[in-house]
A and B are shown apart, each in its own frame.
Chain A
Amino acid sequence: MSTLTEAPPPLGPAAPEEKPPRRRGRFTPYWLLLPGMLWLIVFFALPMVYQASTSVQQGSLEQGYKVTWHFATYWDALNAYWPQFLRSVCYAAAATVLCLLLGYPLAYLIAFRAGRWRNLIMILVIAPFFTSFLIRTLAWKTILADNGPVVHALNTLHVLDLTGWLGWTAGDRVLATPLAVVCGLTYNFLPFMILPLYTSLERIDGRLHEAAGDLYARPWTTFRKVTFPLSMPGVVSGTLLTFIPAAGDYVNAELLGSTDTRMIGNVIQTQFLRVLDYPTAAALSFILMAAILAMVTLYIRRSGTEDLV
């Protein structure tokens, strides 16, 4: 076919001959990457290598440490401190579940019901970040004090009998018990749960709720079958953002707990700063990291949200 499909060229000055565009920006992406890469190398990769080498060293503070590829340190550390590892995972899991139970309704309220109060409530959620983590945790010490109103109320309502029987509290005290540590963790990491939950709930198209109702779903069924599945990306990132720092936290256990509630973070801190047993401390850090990585991978696989995130 040789039909004429081109319109006749417009009259006027001939178009200037086109030059191939210069590949000026070829290196731009790498220049833009550079600061971030440098930052990661200096503050992440190098310390990791350093810690890894420390964990396989032997020696003492007086005679200095030498790399001897002593992998037994890992085994010994795990043997000696597995209860603290287990406790960390349990406390972090408990705090994560509590955060989810407390945070989900609040995030739901902000996303769908708050109307013009939305921004105010958001500010209230974030406001605690304006004070230091330490101060906030110390405040819980006052809240849960032995002669404070909370303990008094729980005692009057016989809640402490129940929690004592469960092993969460001891006697008439809340402070220095697992309950206090889990409360502190829950409080401190709650915003990390609420924010991602809110973000993913807020993205849900309101018409989907109407459509579910139109298709015979009662409000609760609509939540189970539509709202909750669609908020899974928020649930997954919220639980990760809560669980990961909570598992490695030592401030809450230090300030609100006792020697019976020591978490792996406390052990690592003691090994580094008091016992000065650097290889053990480094080995513990790596074990914690590996454990969290394994758990998170498993969790993301199981929740099957890869295509939703």
Chain B
Amino acid sequence: MKTTPDNSGDVRLSGISKTYGSFTAVHPLDLTVPEGSFFALLGASGCGKTTTLRMIAGLEEPTTGTVRLGDQDVTHLPPYKRPVNTVFQSYALFPHLDIFENVAFGLRRRGIKSVKKQVEEMLELVQLGEQARKKPHQLSGGQQQRVAVARALINHPRVLLLDEPLGALDLKLRRQMQLELKRIQTEVGITFVHVTHDQEEAMTMADTVAVMNGGRVEQLGAPADLYENPRTTFVANFLGTSNLIEAEVGTRSGDDIVLKAGDGKLVLPGARCTAPTTAGGKVLVGIRPEKISLTHADDAGEIPAGRNRLTGKIADASFIGVSTQYVIDSPVCAGLSVYVQNVERDGRLVPGADVVLHWSPAHTFALDAAQAIDAGTEEEVAA
């Protein structure tokens, strides 16, 4: 392993792409992962996220472009010469070696003789000190996962790559491991590149999330930023749920844009519209379900002025504990989702009731209508 003494340990992908025959897994892609960050590549299966990860690891040769770690061009280095380690999906622990030897594997290959202290410290970090002499198959899924992390981290890689590391764990364990991985990352300060299809996982753990779709990065940013300001329908639908309503651009009033949706008008800040806004053009108005308040039609007069409002009828309501999720059919758009916190439940809000949906214009965003409205929804991704 060659290490160059430089401060910038950024991972820089420039123009990197991968094609298999006539199939393009990854379109030319530029991406910089800052040193020390927790970076997530998020997307549905087949979106090219794993291929991108494998190109950083050296397990796939990019068709075009370069991979740089700091100042070092590693594009054509085989995996065993790269200062990068991977936590594989389903872990790929060596079944014939015990936990200690699994973790010591990388150190031994680099000719380090006294590994005992380092391995024991690393096993402590992942809380597996007691299990050192067991074989991988004697451990639970969560423990195996931690061995895989320890086996990679002990080499102090410049970058740790995680390929769906939590995919095989059950929900509760996954939550626990998310926090644990985040803790480890903060503790060791190594750059983590994490591939996942679970948007919640990506948002919980990562500083920066790159949402990938069809071999391209759709949008990149901090989780909250991506959630609040999606720039495409794919991101709006894939990260959480969005209500997207088709609307017509009306007039501008100051910084705000006024849109016509059916009979009503909706207002949003001009800065939150990524679509061209020529008068009469179409846009998709987006609003997150938890930002909407529900008021029974009888009390419509009590809604403060200046809020965006739509009328509708409750089609379905499901109580899920912390909140109640409503599906509301509005004349402008059927099947709107609304999540209402269960603070003071209005007994009149049952299926069939007429309601008014209202929300602050500041929470509204607008997207270009020239894209599939259902991109990134669960049904579309599954299809």
Chain A residues near B (Cβ < 8 Å): 205, 207-208, 210-218, 221, 225-226, 229-230, 232, 308
Q: What's the least CB distance linking A234 to chain B, in Å?
A: 13
With contact pairs A210-B59, A215-B106 given, residues A230 and B88 touching in the complex (Cβ less than 8 Å)? no
**What are 28 A-B residue pairs whose CB atoms fall within 8 Å in the complex?**
A205-B92, A207-B88, A207-B92, A208-B92, A208-B95, A210-B92, A211-B86, A211-B94, A213-B59, A213-B79, A213-B80, A214-B59, A214-B79, A214-B84, A214-B85, A215-B80, A215-B106, A215-B152, A215-B155, A216-B1, A216-B80, A216-B109, A216-B110, A217-B105, A218-B80, A225-B109, A229-B96, A232-B96
Minimum C-beta distance from A107 to chain B (A): 18
* In the complex, chain B residues whose CB is within 8 Å of the CB of A226: 94, 96
Spell out B's residues near A (CB within 8 Å).
1, 57-59, 78-81, 84-86, 88, 90, 92-96, 105-106, 109-110, 151-152, 155
Give complex CA distance A216, B85 in Å.
Answer: 9
With a cutoff of 8 Å between Cβ atoms, the chain A residues found around residue B96 in the complex are: 226, 229-230, 232, 308
A215's partner among B58, B78, B85 (CB-CB below 8 A) is B85
Q: Find the A residue at minimum CB distance from B54.
A: A210
Contact A207 B110 (CB under 8 A): no
Chain A residues positioned under 8 Å from B93 (CB to CB): 211
| A212 adjacent to B105 (CB under 8 Å) | yes
Once bound together, how far apart are the Cα atoms of A229 and B101, in whole Å? Answer: 14
Chain A interface mostly: helix
Further contacts, 6 of them, CB under 8 A, given A215-B106, A216-B1, A216-B80: A210-B86, A210-B88, A213-B59, A213-B79, A214-B88, A226-B94
Could you tell me the distance between the alpha carbons of A218 and B1 in the complex, rounded to whole angstroms? 12
The CA-CA distance from A111 to B250 in the complex, in Å, is: 66
- Name the B residues within 8 Å of A214 (CB-CB): 57-59, 79-80, 84-86, 88, 152
Cα of A131 to Cα of B90 in the assembled complex, Å: 45
Provide the residues of chain A in CB contact with B85, threshold 8 Å: 214-215
Q: How far is the CB of A207 from chain B (nearest CB, A)?
A: 4
Q: Contact check, A215 vs B59: say whether CB atoms are below 8 A apart.
A: no
B155's partner among A205, A208, A216, A308 (CB-CB below 8 A) is: A216
Which of A205, A215, A229, A230 is B109 in contact with, Cβ under 8 Å? A215
Which residues on the A side are within 8 Å of B88 (C-beta)?
A: 207, 210-211, 214
Residues of chain A with a CB closer than 8 A to B105's CB: 212, 215, 217, 225
CB distance from A213 to the nearest CB of B (A): 4
Residues of B within 8 A of A210 (CB): 59, 79, 86, 88, 92
Partner of A217, one of B57, B80, B84, B95: B80
Chain B nearest Cβ from A222, distance in angstroms: 8
**The 10 A-B residue pairs with the shortest CB-CB distance in the complex, in nearest-first order:** A215-B106, A211-B92, A216-B109, A207-B92, A213-B79, A214-B86, A229-B96, A216-B80, A217-B109, A215-B105
Q: How far is the CB of A180 from chain B (nearest CB, A)?
A: 39
CB distance from A206 to the nearest CB of B (A): 9
**Complex Cα–Cα for A213 and B152 (A):** 12
Residues from chain A with a CB closer than 8 A to the CB of B84 are 214
Task: Determine if B92 and A216 form an interchain contact, defined as CB atoms under 8 angstroms apart.
Answer: no
| Contact A216-B94, Cβ < 8 Å, known A210-B79, A210-B88, A211-B86 | no
